[in-house]
Structure 1
Amino acid sequence: MTTDIQGPPVATTEGRLSNPVTSSENHDLDAPQVMPWRSTTYADARGVLANAVKLAEAGHPILPCYTVNGGDRCTCKRTDKKTGELCRSGKHPNFELAPNGLKDATTDPAMLVQWFDKTGGSINFGWRLDGLGVVDVDTNDGKTGADTVAELEAAHSELSASLTIRTGRGGLQHVYELPEEIDDTSAYADELGPFVDFKRGAGHYVMVPGSKTIDVYRVESGDLLKREPLDGWAHDLALNLGSLVNRKRSAADKPIKAEGTSGPVLDLSSWATRNRG
């Protein structure tokens, strides 16, 4: 199955192009230009810039992120204070390029090319989820996200086929459109069940296909620019679980006693667990 990415301009590895396009003499002006916004200095071997530009031109804000180098180390070069090991993430924002994090996400293709060139093509991009919801299924290191999804689908119905991204760690991210009337995405729960996250809205992002962590993110199925509406049951479940979480937090902040009694504080945690899914 082919993925929805643009191939590199010339080279097949990250680094400088062997013959960068610098003038109209190097190409046919009458030929269709598939990728007008591209680096003329560094190869886009993973297609991450091509995909980021495609999304930006469709109105999706894009954020520069660190990547993972050939030694499986994050280019942030930071050390985990607890373990003493070098970072391996490759997913967090590059605050040298975007000091305000998600607020600096842009739909300007020229800025994406500028970020790409400043890092010598050694970059990942984050896709800010304005108006979108992502069912993020974690399956690496024995995590049971696929089992959780199977249980949810057995109880409701199968998730609708939509754009699906295979992550660098082997999981799956199903991308959907949220209802237009939803303004406050904080009402949704962060999880739909064990090892199934629900990322949504302008406060969350996922990696653009072509980004690299352990492996390269790629389009597993669907079209990068087309998403289906979030299934009604998944939408309702995320809202209901979000309500339970908020109630639990309120109970922790201010104990709730049974009405009309001086009895013990109600334990909402077990209720939330029983009603999950």
Structure 2
Amino acid sequence: MKRHRWITAIPALAICFIGIGLLSLADNTDAADVTGSVTVQKSGLVLNRSTGTFDTTVTVSNESSTPLLEPLKLIVSIDSPQVSLANAAGINEENHPYIQIPLPNGSLTSGQSVRALLKFSNPKQVKFNVSFEVDAELPKAGSLPPDPGSAGEATLLGIDSDGDGVRDDIQRYIALEYPSSEKTRLALTNIAKSYQAMLTVPPNNLQAARVIADQSDRAIRCLAFIMGIDPSITANQKLHAAFLNTIQRYRAYAAFDSQLAGQIFSLPYDLEESCDFDPGSLPN
């Protein structure tokens, strides 16, 4: 097991920090010790005079090719009984304190880093050693299709190994970018299906283009209901960029879009009415 160890000294500078929150478990995951897959770096200790604690910021970086999902736990082992972790979220089975670190969009992908705060109670100001372990959720084996790699870019429609209407690379993108919200994944999946259908519309078939455009607009409005308008715009832009990842696909989409020039669409005013599933029936 890989551990990250450092020896502390007591600095005099005072500064205030914001604490760490807790987030929920992701679906379709297995808990694992991922200490060997990450690096953990820390800043120097700083005396926080408002709390009387000695604070440091740690940076956890995913060095593996597998995304790490919430909850990500940073477990702290302290060699002195006179020192404790003041902002611990809990104690593990080995009686070591830990904090849970919120992750961007619920996951930490390869090469990404996340920062967190540790607050040590050390009233006698003794020197102490600390080592870290990291636990996180990993995607369950078989829950997602394999990464198609360059083979997935060789044709216009790519690889859809399970026949669900979404390319494997896009299915993986949605699942790994938004592991904490089933309703968000469903809305984005519907948008992705409409994008895939757009690539198959033949030239000069305005009727078919209007049907698919209407489906896409409804799915986009559903996402706005679930996420809020501004976050949904960002999420859809990112999905759109991931989808049009070859010149061939971009040109096919542009040809589809050109058929809709000057067209007018009528959509429901209520965003929730745009969803083809009940978002309220889902726990997240």
Structure with max Cα Rg: 2
Same fold (TM over 0.5): no
Decide which structure has greater helix share.
2
Decide which structure has greater strand share.
2
TM-score where L is the length of structure 1: 0.29
